[in-house]
């Protein structure tokens, strides 16, 4: 892919540093043409803000796709984030079929749950539709709660490697070709990401940051997509995305006024440096 084009499908929270307002600048900064399909527009994200506005764009999605098809527009990678309904998942399946270029990477972040619970507004019907979408993905990026829901596994806060490996196996049986399993922690004070292609698994661990930020999952997934499309293998892309996300959290740690998201913009240069360094090391 000399100059790839990526499509990302998720909502726009106009203020709040998540979803499309994270994905567009991060993937673009990697040197990739980034197209967007907003599934909804919100004045802010929903965590901590009150009285936010919301406009559902579900019914615009098919006509946008139809126009792309008529114009012969296709994509080298399609990356989905937060999708608001089962109908939107159905439309994304159509977009996969109709606009994917040869060799297109299909990357699904099943953004629907965390800390053992579904996000508000979601139910098991949504989970079942998401299972189908993940089964069509080349790369799926779940956290522990999402992985448990996708595989009908009991959620546990304490677990061992056998528990995680069983979930990974179930995800592959679901149809997921490559699993990028975030938030895997076997040691106190550590966390990491497990990367599996179905035949082998590799774990990248790093120190768990004390503070957390809203939107870091979107930052991670977007950085992973950028690195992957720039030619990194799945493990290297997962490592770059993890290191970049940690840098964003640390950049935000000393600013108590920035409670609503992670300050990812000041450290975009580090992401670019990591990608360039990896390229140079492999030349």
- pLDDT one-digit tens code per residue, 40-54: 999 999 888 999 999
- Kindly tell me if the per-residue pLDDT of 139 is higher than 70: yes
- Kindly tell me if the per-residue pLDDT of 102 is higher than 70: yes
- Nearest C-alpha neighbor of 12 from the set 180, 213, 215, 242: 215
Listed in order, strand segments (DSSP E) in 131-224 are 139-140, 178-182, 190-196, 201-207
Q: How far apart are CA 49 and CA 60, in angstroms?
A: 26
Per-residue pLDDT band at 1 (split at 50, 70, 90): low
Give first-to-last CA distance, the chain, whole Å.
Answer: 16
Instruction: Give the pLDDT confidence of 44-92 residue by residue, as tens digits.
Output: 998 889 999 999 999 999 999 999 999 999 999 999 999 999 999 999 9
- Residue with tokens 């989905």, as numbered in its chain: 80
Q: Is 120 helix (H, G, I), strand (E, B) or coil?
A: coil
pLDDT at 199: 95
Q: For residues 196-230, b (16+ Cβ closer than 10 Å) or e, as one string?
A: beeeebebbeeeebeeebbbbbbbbbbbbbbbbbb
Q: Is 8 helix (H, G, I), strand (E, B) or coil?
A: strand
pLDDT at 24: 98
Token pair listed for 169: 């196996």
Instruction: Give the pLDDT confidence of 253-270 residue by residue, as tens digits.
Output: 989 899 999 999 999 999
- Kindly tell me if the per-residue pLDDT of 282 is higher than 90: no
């Amino acid at each position: 892919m000399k100059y790839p084009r990526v499509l990302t499908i998720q909502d726009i929270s106009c203020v709040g540093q998540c979803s499309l307002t994270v994905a567009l600048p991060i993937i673009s900064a990697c040197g990739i043409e980034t197209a967007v399909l907003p599934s909804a527009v919100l004045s802010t994200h929903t965590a901590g803000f009150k009285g936010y506005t919301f406009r559902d764009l579900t019914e615009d999605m098919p006509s946008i796709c139809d126009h792309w098809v008529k114009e012969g527009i296709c994509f080298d990678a399609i990356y989905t984030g937060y999708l608001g309904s089962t109908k939107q998942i159905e439309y994304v399946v159509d977009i996969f079929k109709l606009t994917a270029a040869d060799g297109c990477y299909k990357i699904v972040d099943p953004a629907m749950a965390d800390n053992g619970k579904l996000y508000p507004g979601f139910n098991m019907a949504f989970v079942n539709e998401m299972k189908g979408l993940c089964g069509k993905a080349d790369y799926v990026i779940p956290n522990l709660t999402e992985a448990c829901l996708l595989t009908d596994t009991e959620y546990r806060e304490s677990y061992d490697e056998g528990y995680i490996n069983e979930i990974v196996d179930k995800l592959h049986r679901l149809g997921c070709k490559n699993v990028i399993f975030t938030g895997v922690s076997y040691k106190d004070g550590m966390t990491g990401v497990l990367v599996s292609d179905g035949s082998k698994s590799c774990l990248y661990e790093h120190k768990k940051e004390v503070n957390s930020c809203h939107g870091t999952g979107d930052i991670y997934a977007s950085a992973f997509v950028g690195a992957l499309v720039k030619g990194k293998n799945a493990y290297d892309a997962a490592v770059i995305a993890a290191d970049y996300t940690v840098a964003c959290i640390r950049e935000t740690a000393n600013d108590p006024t920035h409670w609503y998201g992670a300050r990812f913009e000041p450290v975009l240069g580090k992401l670019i440096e990591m990608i360039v360094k990896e390229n140079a090391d492999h030349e």
